[in-house]
Amino acid sequence: MPELPEVETVRRSLKRLVGGKTIRDVDVFVPKMVRNLDVSKFRQHIENKTIIDISRIGKYLLFHLEDWILVSHLRMEGRYFIKHLDEAKDKHEHLIFYFTDGTTMRYHDTRKFGTFDLIKQENLSSFEPVQKMGPEPFDQEMTVDYLYPILKRKTIAIKSALLDQHIIAGLGNIYVNEVLFLCGLHPETPSHKCRKKDVKNIIKYSQEVLEEAIKRGGTTIRSYTSSLGVTGRFQQQLKVHTKEVCPTCESPIEKIKVGGRGTYYCKKCQKKRY
Ligand SMILES: [Zn+2]
């Protein structure tokens, strides 16, 4: 599943490749992917609009189309490809945006879990997923004063708390495993057992891990490869996720499930607190 660094990498590539282009038309082959409008309205609002900017909130990509914003979530397998108009349609291409310059942007998704919402610019702040999303590690609001009291009220595993997008946005499974290793926190530590010092480390290492991953174009794991020819090189930097030996103490890395998610940690470096 693409995580924040992959989505950020896709955003930067798309901005470079399709920023400023004008959409002549759009074909929607899987209508259920467009969530908030019927397809005819969706097409009508998008036609002849120019992509002014592409931004990102958490794992949502935002295409700014003059007065409208197209919100795209890649979910498990979504990717974008830029192809010439004449290139044959792949069976996994479910939306095709035709630009006035003869190129196309194709949304490719083998699982069809990806979603599109088209909203008026002025309604962005009330768009539910965005409204409910907590700040990202890089945001100014992400401080010990913000995060510590929230964690103090929760008894769930710190791993699950950090995956909760309402608390902290954009930190997915791979990166939470890495952050907890760097903090020396056992993934099953109850959230309220985190001290202020731990919270400070969580913020610091979240920023560091994400920054490094973005710099390297994200992490390529299993079926996910970033579109547009970007290869994630962060995998080489992973310390515990999918690893067998701890890089610090050389103990074997443990693999467990926390909240149903594959969790890797070092028993020795990440001691459990009760
Ligand atoms: Zn270790």
Cβ atoms < 10 Å from Cβ of 217: 21
20-29, 82-91, 184-193: the lowest-pLDDT one: 82-91
pLDDT above 50 for 228: no
> Which residue, 65, 63, 71, is CA-closest to 129?
71
DSSP string, 184-211: T--TTSBGGG--HHHHHHHHHHHHHHHH
Average pLDDT over residues 8-23: 92
Measured in Å, residue 1 CA sits from the centre of ligand 1 at 27
Average pLDDT over residues 65-91: 92
Measured in Å, residue 266 CA sits from the centre of ligand 1 at 5
Q: What is the pLDDT of residue 218?
A: 66
Percentage of the chain beyond pLDDT 90 is 70
Q: Give the end-to-end CA distance of the chain in Å, rounded to a whole number.
A: 32
Q: Could you confirm whether 59 is annotated as catalytic? A: yes
Measured in Å, residue 249 CA sits from the centre of ligand 1 at 4
Which pTM does this prediction carry? 0.81
Q: What is the pLDDT of residue 225?
A: 40
Active site residue: 49, 59, 79, 159, which one?
59
Measured in Å, residue 250 CA sits from the centre of ligand 1 at 6
Average pLDDT over residues 153-168: 96
Q: What is the pLDDT of residue 272?
A: 85
Q: What is the pLDDT of residue 123?
A: 93
Q: Could you confirm whether 272 is annotated as catalytic? A: no
Active site residue: 2, 5, 137, 187, which one?
2
Active site residue: 12, 193, 261, 267, which one?
261
Q: What is the pLDDT of residue 224?
A: 37
Residue appearing with tokens 């400070």: 200
Measured in Å, residue 148 CA sits from the centre of ligand 1 at 26
Q: How confident is the model at residue 46 (pLDDT cuts 50, 70, 90)?
A: very high
Q: Could you confirm whether 261 is annotated as catalytic? A: yes
Measured in Å, residue 240 CA sits from the centre of ligand 1 at 9
Q: What angle do CA 209, 71, 52 make, to 5 degrees?
A: 95
pLDDT above 90 for 112: yes
pLDDT above 50 for 209: yes
User: What value does the mean pLDDT of the chain take?
Assistant: 90
Q: Could you confirm whether 2 is annotated as catalytic? A: yes
Rounded-to-integer distance, Cα 137 and Cα 121, Å: 25
Angle, helices 196-215/144-152, rounded to nearest 10 degrees: 120
Residues with CB under 5 A from ligand 1 (ion): 246, 248-249, 251, 266, 268-269
Dihedral of CA 117/119/125/127: which sign? Answer: negative
Tell me the domains of the chain and their CATH numbers.
4-130 (3.20.190.10), 144-266 (1.10.8.50)
Measured in Å, residue 227 CA sits from the centre of ligand 1 at 35
Rounded-to-integer distance, Cα 34 and Cα 200, Å: 40
Rounded-to-integer distance, Cα 234 and Cα 219, Å: 5
